[in-house]
Amino acid sequence: GAVVSQHPSWVICKSGTSVKIECRSLDFQATTMFWYRQFPKQSLMLMATSNEGSKATYEQGVEKDKFLINHASLTLSTLTVTSAHPEDSSFYICSARTGGDGYTFGSGTRLTVV
């Protein structure tokens, strides 16, 4: 089946630095990828929708300059958390549309900013 590989699975970074998270579709072309953030014991909150070759569409309240999304190819989308702060610590997870209404999720990245 369709697989999305997400890296890294966890990262610890210092406050003020930037972190890049990658999601790759391994056996299909992902024209649309979604990025979610999930705080402990909470739901998945959609941050942005990215379409290959075009600018990402951000949800209300999500800072586009802080969470940079790039979807330059049909198999790779990246999320860069710029100038990370402790409040950005969270579980970030991508999902790719596999056709029709179906999604497949990446394995998630636990970001801890110290």
Q: Nearest distance from residue 82's CB to other proteins, in Å?
A: 24
Helix, strand, or coil here: 85?
coil
Site size for other proteins (CB under 8 A): 22
The phi, psi pair for 104, rounded to 5°, reads -130, 135
d(C-alpha 13, C-alpha 2), whole Å = 31
Query: Which of 24, 71, 106, 113: binder of other proteins (CB under 8 A)?
Result: 106
20 binds other proteins (CB under 8 A): no
28 lies in the site for other proteins, by CB under 8 A: no
The Cα–Cα gap between 27 and 87 comes to 35
Q: Is 2 in the site for other proteins (CB under 8 A)?
A: no
Binding mask 54-83 for other proteins (x = CB under 8 A): ---x--x-----------------------
CA–CA gap between residue 103 and residue 94 (Å, rounded): 10
Contacts of 96 (CB under 8 A, 6+ apart): 2, 4, 23, 25, 28, 30, 32, 33, 34, 77, 103, 104, 106
- By CB under 8 A, tell whether 101 contacts other proteins: yes
Instruction: Name the residues that contact other proteins, by CB under 8 A.
Output: 32, 34, 41-46, 49, 57, 60, 91, 93, 97, 101-103, 105-108, 110
